[in-house]
Structure formats: C-alpha cells, structure tokens
Structure 1
C-alpha cells in the first residue's frame, strides 16, 4: 500500500503528459465517432467505427513498452478507417495518432528502417482505396512525421558523436598536462637527489648509494612515463614545463578584465598547498567558465569564488547575464562543459552547472584534495 501511495504521489507530482495525451486523443476519437454515428454517418457500421477509432488511438498509451506493436495496430486501423471515404470528425484524431507513432518510430529506429517504413506507408495508403482527401491528409502527415523523426534522430546522433569526440580530445589534453606536471616533479626529484649526493660533505657511502638509486629510479620513471604518455603530446617542440596552478589565477582574472568582463574574486577559508592535479583542474575550470561567460554573456559581471574546506576545494564561477535559453545544463557552455566534467571526474570531484537563481549561469565544482 505504501509503495502504491508513493507511486501515485510521484505521478501526481510529475504527470506523464504523453500518456495523458494518448488517453485524451483516444477519448476524443471515440467521442467524435459517437457524435458522427449519432448524426447519421456510418449508420450500418457504427460498431466498426467505434472499434477502429479505439484501436487507432489508444495503442499510443503503450508506445514506451510496445512501440512496434502499437504502430502496427494504429496503422492498420487508420488505413481501414481513412480509406472508407471523405474526412470525418474522427479522421483528425486517427491521423494525429498515426503521425505521432510514425514520428516515434523514425526517431528511435535506424535510417534504413525509416526509409522502408516510408515506402511501405506510401504504398499502403495509395492502395487502400480510391485517392480521396482523407488519404492525402494521412499521406502528408505520415511522410512529414517520418521526416521530422528521422531528422531528430540524426541530430541526436551528431550531438553524441561531437560530445564523444570532445571527451576524447579533453582526455588527451588532460593526459598531456598531467604528463607535464608529474614529469616536472619527478625530474625535480632526480635533480635534488643527485645534488644532495654530490654537494653534501662527509656523506657516508651507503647514503650516497641510496640517493643515487633514488635519482636513477626517478629517471627511469620519467622515461617510462614519456614512453606511455608522450604520444599524446602535441608536437609543438616545447620542453616539459609545469602547468598553471592557482598561483596564476590572478593573471587569468586580469586578462578577463582587460577583455571587458568585470570580474570579482572571493576567497574564503585558509589556503593550503594542494596537489598539482587539483590546482590544474581548478585553474582550467575557472578559465573555461570565464571563456563561456565572455561568449554567452558578454560584458556581464562574473564572480569567481574559492572556498577551502577541511578536505576539498570548492570552486564557483557565476555570471550575471540573462542566463541560458531554457535554463538547461548544456546551454551556455557548449563542449566546454564536457571538458570540465572530465577534469572533475579525474580528481574524484563533483560538478554542477546550470541556470543560477536570479538569472545568469553558474559552474560549481567540489575538488577533494585529501
């Protein structure tokens, strides 16, 4: 009983509008058929009209679980009903149902399946009887629904490919930057070990051997790292160099101000030394968020906040622009959000983006450092 009550509360809070629309469409078709038969149409076939209208509309209720079956039943019932003569009141309901189910099929199936559906639909419609206005309306609605559904599916596939490509490129970029960060520190270890061994007077032989082993291990580790990750480096001819951290955040904010973006910086908590990967991630998040703000909310004030907690760094960038259209997460950030999410995931953090309360767009990241 408790589970049933929870499910009813969920449906009441978030109604399934397509389900409600399908039921309303079926009831509208039945009502129209009833009114039409009572008015003198299909006097000898009132029962057939009721059944065909019912089977042409109500199957849409099961579009999520049995789409193909619902499409077959709807199509056959629609063809029988529409081919019987000139348009009738219930014709509008069944044509809408037919167009809807064809749209869903085209959106969720492959392109060649959509093409076969279109050819079969045209042939069945034209061969179902004399070509009358109802047939032409059904044909136009069906072909239009197939075309729109197929275009929607192709658009979704293109977006997925672009997002996947952006994720791969960002991962490669992250690997290159981490390569530089880690290699820089490992090479520093090797240099310090060799320096300590050579410049410390009176060092025992055993201590010198251990420092020499530390230096050699560091050099071996750097060689293996370059062998594994070096293929991801861009061939720019540059040497390994430490990647930017929060010590260069001031330069980044000043550059944004020079380009016309008013930036306010807020620091909360006591700054502590962070791992290079966390600092690099925080820097890149602020950099990408400022770029997005300049692109989608030019001239709008931006607030950059850093909060140091006991176990994490909280980064928030919020612009005071008009906000993304529709308030969606993907709006306003483009593929840059993909890169942010990849970086935050790399350090085991959490990212939230979207429309801010009171307008604008906000990027919030929690980067654990313990």
Structure 2
C-alpha cells in the first residue's frame, strides 16, 4: 500500500507541474538531432539564453553564400548568420536591412567589413560584422549582383558581377562603381559570373587575377581587364601573345556550373570550387583540379590564414575540413 500511495503522489506532482506549464514543450520534428532537441527543450523551459543554433535553420533555408570574417563564419540564407565560436552557436544579424543576399565578400585586412551582392540590385556594406548596413548602388545597373570579390592586395577595391551586364569595379569599398569588363564568352554565349575570386599571383598583370565561375565553366582575367582567358600554365602576357591556350592538365569537369569559388589569401595558388559534382581543389592556381568531396556543393569558403581550413555546403548540410578536404565533419544540419 505504501508503494501505491507513493505512486499516486508522484502522479499528482507530475499533473501539478503540467498544469503550471513546467513541461509544456513542443514535440520536436523527426528530423531534429538529439542535440537540437535538447537545446529546444531547455530553451523552452527558460533554462538557456544563447544565440540560436544553426540546427534551427532547417533545410527550408537556402544557403546562398559563405565567407570568413577573420575566424568568424558567415552564412547567408534568409538572413545573415554569424558564428564566432566555430559553429557551436549562431547569431542572426540584421541582413534584412540589406535585402536578399546572393554573394558575400570579406578581406583579412579589413576585419568586420562584409560586402554583399543583392538579388534586388546593388550591394550592401557593413563595417561591424553584419550588424548595420549601408546600401551602395552608386552607378550599378538595377539588376542582381550575382558574385562579388575584394581585390587580394587592395582591400578597398571590390569587383561585382551584374546579371546580364558584366563586371564592375569600386575603389571605395563598394559605394561607387564603374564598368570594367563585359561578361565572359564561353560555349558560344556570354555567361554571367556566378562566382568571383581575386587571386594574388606573380603570373597576373600587376600580380592580380580575377577568376570567374560561370554556368559553363571557369575563366579568368588579369587586372588589366584586357581579355577573359582560359586558365593555363604561364603568365598573362604569354596567353595574350600566343592566342589559343593549350588545355589545362586536369580542368574542372566540362559543362558543370560553378556555384562558388574560394581563394586562400595566405596561399594564393590554393583555390576551391563548389560544383554539382562536389568540392574541388587546386594547388596550382586552377591548372590542375582534384575532387576532395563528393555530393552536390553549392557554397565554399576558405579561412584567411589557414588555407586547408574550408567550410562548404554539401548535399544541403554545412560541413568543414581542416586538412584541405581529406576529411570532413558536419558543423550542423541545415
């Protein structure tokens, strides 16, 4: 009888707690991980006050771009998410002030400065890591900015690809713009750049190449903006003088769109590309490529001082490698 009485008392206590709302939690959706369920439960009970974990983003949020701001990781989706602790926790910045983001660009010499290309046209610039924004259209056509890059050796020089138009340049960190270059001609048609990367190499005019990924493959132009060229061994002048360039030894897969490009500032010859066939890496400025991750890749970013530390969106999940793509680990389920 004593056990039965204790059982009744326990039931009454549980009923009382339910009525007081102590355990009124939302049942998790099946796709949530155990960690995400635990965080959701504790937060609902008032036990946690922290930035939202990326698990809460859900697969419905389409990640359009990744970038590093120093050690911080930036993820552009419906808003701008920022993690300052390696992906453990995330804060949502006020990217709604900037509009829908298609592209992100940062520079290691300008910590806190984030430049975005916008789907509704123009760019937005933040100098405090994404908390406040200034719109910069200054001469740009009223079309989507599909790709953006900061010049490797000049952190106030920015390049933007405008859909249906061409390549534009700003010398004041994205506030005013001038037209620089027509769109590249690949596979018998002009192609909009879907990704841009500025790479500081001795083989470029003045040491700078602008690499562009398109729906039809990879191309590049030296900073003289004289002509889009195939990626090949040798320097820019050799390519201009010799005319037709020999094919690279191991190019990216023919006919695949390039969704994103990332250069490693501390190792300029190291490039990464996100393609439908996976993440690809080059250690010689894009002449030879090898696949370092299988799956459908939509975004990639390289750490500014650790060239083998990369983050990518692969098969809809956020993942990272700290050894140049030899091994990968999930940061979160998105």
TM-score of Structure 1 vs Structure 2, range by shorter chain:
under 0.3
Larger radius of gyration: 1
The structure with the largest helix share of the pair is 1
